[in-house]
Structures are given as structure tokens and as C-alpha cells.
């Protein structure tokens, strides 16, 4: 005998679709903002919310076992943490260089064509 598959109510998919529509509209609205940290933060936030919703609902991650969730979602989270740590180190290195050596006076020269 074949076992019947799990059926999720359609309401969940409609709510997710509406949420994606609203988040996409909000993401589009950031195009009218001035460039800056807030705009970049909002773009990334909307991007992660939309991607997370798609994975959670449409790819059925919300109904999987914890071990599979950790196996799939763990590496991207680890990579984001490492990127964050590298950005902290880069800021520290730049600040240290400026403290000890001051601003650079280097001006690139035009290449000489022979």
C-alpha cells in the first residue's frame, strides 16, 4: 500500500505569496532612497527575508527535521559569520595603519606610452 503524502493548507502559500509581494514592493521602494548605510541595510534585509520565506515555505524547509535544517542552513550562517569577522579585521587593520602612518599621499601617475 502506498502512503499518502502530507498536504499543507493552501492558505500558507497564499500568505507567503502576499508577503513576498509586499517585501518586493518595499525592496523596490529603496530605489528611491539616497545611497547610504540604511538603504544597503534595507536591501539586504528584504533580500534575506524573501529568500528565507521561499526556502521555509515553498521548499518545505519548515517541515523538515532539525538535523536537515542544520545541515543545510548551517554552512551559509557560518560563512556570514566569517565574512563579518573579516570585515571587523579589515576595519581594525585600516584604523591601525592610519594611526601609525597617517593618510596616504600616494597619487597614481599616468602611464607612459612609448
Cell of 48: 534575506
Residue where the block lists cell 529603496: 30
Nearest alpha-carbon partner for 63 in 7, 4, 2: 7
Which pTM was predicted?
A: 0.60
Give the number of other CB atoms < 10 A from CB of residue 34: 6
pLDDT in tens, 24-70: 999 999 999 999 999 999 999 999 999 989 988 888 888 888 888 88
pLDDT in tens, 77-93: 999 999 999 999 988 88
Q: For the chain, how far is it from start to end, CA to CA, in angstroms?
A: 83
- Kindly state the helix (H) or strand (E) to which residue 45 belongs, with its residue range: helix 37-53
Q: Where are the domains of the chain?
A: 7-63, 65-101
SS3 state at 113: coil
Amino acid at each position: 500500500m502506498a502512503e499518502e503524502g502530507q498536504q499543507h493548507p493552501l492558505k500558507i502559500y497564499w500568505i507567503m505569496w502576499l508577503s513576498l509581494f509586499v517585501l518586493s514592493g518595499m525592496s523596490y521602494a529603496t530605489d528611491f532612497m539616497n545611497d547610504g548605510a540604511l538603504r544597503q541595510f534595507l536591501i539586504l534585509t528584504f533580500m534575506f527575508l524573501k529568500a528565507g520565506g521561499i526556502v521555509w515555505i515553498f521548499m518545505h524547509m519548515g517541515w523538515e527535521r532539525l538535523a536537515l535544517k542544520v545541515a543545510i542552513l548551517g554552512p551559509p550562517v557560518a560563512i556570514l559569520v566569517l565574512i563579518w569577522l573579516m570585515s571587523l579585521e579589515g576595519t581594525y587593520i585600516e584604523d591601525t595603519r592610519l594611526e601609525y602612518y597617517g593618510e596616504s599621499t600616494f597619487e597614481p601617475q599616468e602611464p607612459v606610452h612609448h
